[in-house]
Chain A
Amino acid sequence: GVTQSPTHLIKTRGQQVTLRCSSQSGHNTVSWYQQALGQGPQFIFQYYRKEENGRGNFPPRFSGLQFPNDSSELNVNALELDDSALYLCASSLGMNTEAFFGQGTRLTVV
């Protein structure tokens, strides 16, 4: 399955954070979503074969990496209070095939 780490994280405004995701074996595509409390997930970006393939309405301080070993990272710089949310990683075999989601990382910015 898809695993994310850590499960919970508390950071201070202005800091930087790195969230990690381990994709399902063999999947070449990873997508990241942000879910604020009481809202549906919002698309951040997608990486396909280690290249950013599409991006939602998020500023450049949200960036990502995809590694050869089926792992990926979401980096957020200059954290703001509004960045507090559940961050979900989803992996798939292809850009528009069924995606499988991890359990998420709950980020709290204080």
Chain B
Amino acid sequence: KAGVTQTPRYLIKTRGQQVTLSCSPISGHRSVSWYQQTPGQGLQFLFEYFSETQRNKGNFPGRFSGRQFSNSRSEMNVSTLELGDSALYLCASSLAPERTEAFFGQGTRLTVV
């Protein structure tokens, strides 16, 4: 069974640009969550999608957005990139909408220069 796939693995962008990251969950999983990991702030929850609907949202500015497609694949978008957006972005998928084990992808390392 294939795991959670995140693409791309590495990305370098310039300040002010926008970026889109992709996450393909484990087959059959319908819940996808996104996390930002930085040395200073640690792991922070961005948002969760289930059945194409955003269920939870963390405390991030509106420049961070996401969506989920009918096949459960999810994308997150960051507009007007800032240097502080440099981070490892992790995606996790879960089978059910609530209280189940989260399986993580290997992440996308975003560097903003």
Same complex: no
- Name A residues whose Cβ lies closer than 8 Å to a Cβ of B: none
